[in-house]
Structure 1
Amino acid sequence: MAVIASAPGKVLLTGGYLILDRPNAGLVLSTTARFYAILKPLYEELKPESWAWTWTDVKVTSPQLMRESMYKLSLKDLTLQCASSSESRNPFVEHAVEYAVAAAHATLDNHKKATFEKLLLQGLDITILGSNDFYSYRNQIEARGLPLTPEALAALPPFTSITFNTEGSNGENCKPEVAKTGLGSSAAMTTAVVAALLHYLGVVNLNFSVRDQLENGKDDFDVIHVIAQSAHCIAQGKVGSGFDVSSAVYGSQRYVRFSPEVLASAQVSLCLSPACPVMILLQK
């Protein structure tokens, strides 16, 4: 069983830094650019000795960055340990996995826990893909001898490989970085991974139309928002404005920031286990 979830990017039209202070409002639009998370079992069959395992495997693949990371997920405290090179780590995906799995563990009843544990023992195979609009492809377009126009960007194949900038503004070599366009790629990616995991593990049900989602699925979207918002803030090391994650979950909206104290308390308790702040947030 494979699950594909996606989340849009964002553009903040009005509000700017004013939205950091409640109750100031901003107008945020979701974009056609989307991040996709494809989730499936890493192993088709359970191994006979899996009942005694205390860890399970998680593989995260980013074809556009030509990166693959392997992790060990503790079945005791639900934390990830990277088994690959530190250069291939993605903190946004890591915290999305930890928080989504912890949310499933904290909310599923005993009847669903058996299925949850089986899915974890089969391992998690996660592939992430982002629309080309999230990134700058200036180098690739110029290499093809094309003009720097929207039409040239649209001519690139979907999910084109991303090159790294290795030269700073002063001409010196620097740590490789991905050139982004500011559409909220990390928020969209985090939200897509959280949504895919929560659906895959049985916490939410996203198998309905957009109209049904708005009329009947708000509780599921609220759970996705809580987990994605928390994971994103922990990954970036601060409680931000939150409008990028909010628009990734709910779409275009008039946005008023949540109370930052809600996530601040979760960050303080993170030293215990992802499950601890998840319980705090789900009870808000």
Structure 2
Amino acid sequence: MKGVRAFSAPGKALLAGGYLVLDPKYESFVVALSARMHAVVSSTTVPDNDNKLIINVKSSQFNNNEWNYSVSKDQGYDPIERDGKSNPFIEFTISNVCNYFSDNESFDNKITIEIFSDAEYHSKENSLIMSNNYMSFPFHKKNIQDVPKTGLGSSAGLVTVLTTALSSVFLKDLDVSSIKYQHTIHNLAQIAHCQAQGKIGSGFDVAAATYGSIIYRRFLPEIISQLPELSVDNFERYHNALKDVVDTCNWKMIASPTNLPKGFKLIMGDVNTGSETVKLVQKVKKWYANNQPHSLDVYNCIDENNMKIIQLCKTLDSLSKTDTVYYSQLLEGLYNGYTDDFKELKEFKHAFLTIRKNFRLISKESGADIEPSIQTELLDNCIQIKGVLAGVVPGAGGFDAISLIASENTDIESETSGLTAFSNVSWMKLKQAECGLMEEDPQHYIGLRAAH
């Protein structure tokens, strides 16, 4: 094998945005996470291969987790799996990348991609940690569909990193730090992810996987819905439409780099349950449509406080550079629980409490458990902990992992150890990611062994 490369993409937490992220008129605050999806890709040329691409995708972390595809122009770039197995996220990714690059005349025709996911994406129950001097991953005895997820955006991360790995075979000079290539990868991954889900989602998870922590406003749904169906008979039409959508269309999306302010950190706690996001979204959409103008007033109140959080993060970031003495006092007040002594911290906390109050109202009126009572109790207990400023059930809410914003000096495990109120929470070893897509050293994935 030649041309071995490796890439990774981060998970996400939607801290401010909730259901408003589905509407292109609202902005959201998305934090990229240190938990990453990885892809190691190698390729070679096989002679006399009937103009077919052979693509092997596998993840040895899970049982029976390997797919072998043949792809060709004659098949309309529809991946045919040798054993009849199906994974729509992999298949739509392969289909779109191969179709997009079908004009390329010189590339390797046998591709192997190994997928790895960091421990925080799935429940670690009944898993064995395998590690080397660089990497550590849990290996599971079950199939991937039987291992509970924690809601960090594994499918978006998979599609993004798989899109990157495949693209690197067609683009030998692919540089994931280049805005140009990030743009191409993001757009291809967004299209594949929407098609695999059978719907056009908000896309904040794919955007975070590509760009890192961002202020996000979603793309126009019709950008993707206008694409024709891909089939053997119309792959040329699809290719031209795909090139146009990826390269020239104005998606009218915002993905501006951002970060939590200096001295603040994100804490994630897994409550070991998980939620069905699709059902929650359906209930909220129905409530919103049937309760105008009241529902619009609720959304506008949430939006007003989302924007306060975004602006306060910018204000705090500026203060950390322009008034270091005051900012040092503010961080000390955050850590010691004197948050009401500082206007910025008081407003930050109040904005999150107001957002939560409105989502509890939507929960009550729509029947969607956005902030279930058990999560309310947990979050209320969390914000009493020294150094914790605010908490929220990120994204669509429900029983997914909770997110807390706290002082970087807060030791959440020692603060909650032995307390009954936190007995069902597993604190995840996560932090805000420094960036989105990264190229990794493929040598770092060799020789994974059981950790003792």
TM-score by length of 2: 0.49
SS of the residue corresponding to residue 160 of structure 1 reads: strand
Given residue 41 of structure 2, which amino acid in structure 1 is its aligned partner?
L
Q: Name which of 6, 14, 19 aligns with 2:21.
A: 19
Identity among equivalent positions (%) equals 31
The structure-2 alpha-carbon separation of the partners of 1:223 and 1:100, relative to structure 1 and needing over 3 Å to count, comes to: same
Partner residue, 1:99: 96
- Report the CA distance between 1:275 and its aligned residue: 2.6
> 1:270, 1:276 within 8 Å by CA — same for their partners in 2?
no
Partner residue, 1:70: 68
Aligned equivalents of 2:217 and 2:163: distance in 1? 22
- Report the CA distance between 1:45 and its aligned residue: 5.0
Give the CA RMSD over aligned residues.
2.4
Q: Name which of 197, 218, 232 aligns with 2:193.
A: 232
Q: Which runs of 5+ in 1 are unaligned?
A: 107-112, 145-156, 167-175, 208-212
Which runs of structure 2 are paired with 1:152-171 in the superposition (5 Å)?
Answer: 158-164=136-142
> 1:35, 1:130 within 8 Å by CA — same for their partners in 2?
yes
Partner residue, 2:79: 80
Residues 1:114 and 2:105 are matched in the alignment:
yes
> 2:127, 2:138 within 8 Å by CA — same for their partners in 1?
no
Aligned equivalents of 1:165 and 1:96: distance in 2? 21
Q: Which runs of 5+ in 2 are unaligned?
A: 130-134, 250-452
Given residue 90 of structure 1, which amino acid in structure 2 is its aligned partner?
N
The structure-2 alpha-carbon separation of the partners of 1:62 and 1:135, relative to structure 1 and needing over 3 Å to count, comes to: same
- Report the CA distance between 1:90 and its aligned residue: 2.0
Q: Name which of 266, 269, 272 aligns with 2:229.
A: 269
Per-residue CA deviation, residues 175-202 of structure 1 (Å, 9 max, x unaligned), is x533000000000010001111212211
Aligned equivalents of 2:216 and 2:208: distance in 1? 9
Aligned equivalents of 2:14 and 2:203: distance in 1? 11
> 1:135, 1:181 within 8 Å by CA — same for their partners in 2?
yes
Aligned equivalents of 1:165 and 1:231: distance in 2? 23
Aligned equivalents of 2:15 and 2:240: distance in 1? 36
Aligned equivalents of 2:102 and 2:45: distance in 1? 22
> 1:38, 1:126 within 8 Å by CA — same for their partners in 2?
yes
Given residue 206 of structure 2, which amino acid in structure 1 is its aligned partner?
V
Partner residue, 2:46: 46
The structure-2 alpha-carbon separation of the partners of 1:80 and 1:12, relative to structure 1 and needing over 3 Å to count, comes to: same
- Report the CA distance between 1:225 and its aligned residue: 0.6
> 2:6, 2:165 within 8 Å by CA — same for their partners in 1?
yes
> 2:8, 2:37 within 8 Å by CA — same for their partners in 1?
yes
SS of the residue corresponding to residue 263 of structure 1 reads: helix
- Report the CA distance between 1:137 and its aligned residue: 1.3
The structure-2 alpha-carbon separation of the partners of 1:161 and 1:140, relative to structure 1 and needing over 3 Å to count, comes to: closer
Residues 1:252 and 2:251 are matched in the alignment:
no
Aligned equivalents of 1:275 and 1:5: distance in 2? 26
Given residue 111 of structure 2, which amino acid in structure 1 is its aligned partner?
L
Aligned equivalents of 2:214 and 2:195: distance in 1? 24
Per-residue CA deviation, residues 113-139 of structure 1 (Å, 9 max, x unaligned), is 3323xx12xx11111111111001134
Aligned equivalents of 1:12 and 1:191: distance in 2? 18
SS of the residue corresponding to residue 2 of structure 1 reads: strand
**Number of corresponding residues:** 235
Given residue 177 of structure 1, which amino acid in structure 2 is its aligned partner?
D
Aligned equivalents of 2:173 and 2:101: distance in 1? 9
Structure exhibiting the larger radius of gyration computed from Cα positions: 2
SS of the residue corresponding to residue 139 of structure 2 reads: coil
Residues 1:136 and 2:123 are matched in the alignment:
yes
SS of the residue corresponding to residue 55 of structure 2 reads: strand
Partner residue, 1:109: none
Aligned equivalents of 2:152 and 2:53: distance in 1? 34
SS of the residue corresponding to residue 219 of structure 2 reads: coil
Partner residue, 2:112: 125
- Report the CA distance between 1:37 and its aligned residue: 1.1
Per-residue CA deviation, residues 148-193 of structure 1 (Å, 9 max, x unaligned), is xxxxxxxxx8221235499xxxxxxxxx533000000000010001
Per-residue CA deviation, residues 205-235 of structure 1 (Å, 9 max, x unaligned), is 217xxxxx3xxx2111110111000001011
Q: Name which of 157, 170, 178 aligns with 2:147.
A: 178
Partner residue, 2:37: 35
Q: Which has the higher contact order (CA 8 A, sep 6+)?
A: 1
> 1:204, 1:220 within 8 Å by CA — same for their partners in 2?
no
TM-score by length of 1: 0.76
Residues 1:242 and 2:203 are matched in the alignment:
yes
- Report the CA distance between 1:259 and its aligned residue: 0.3
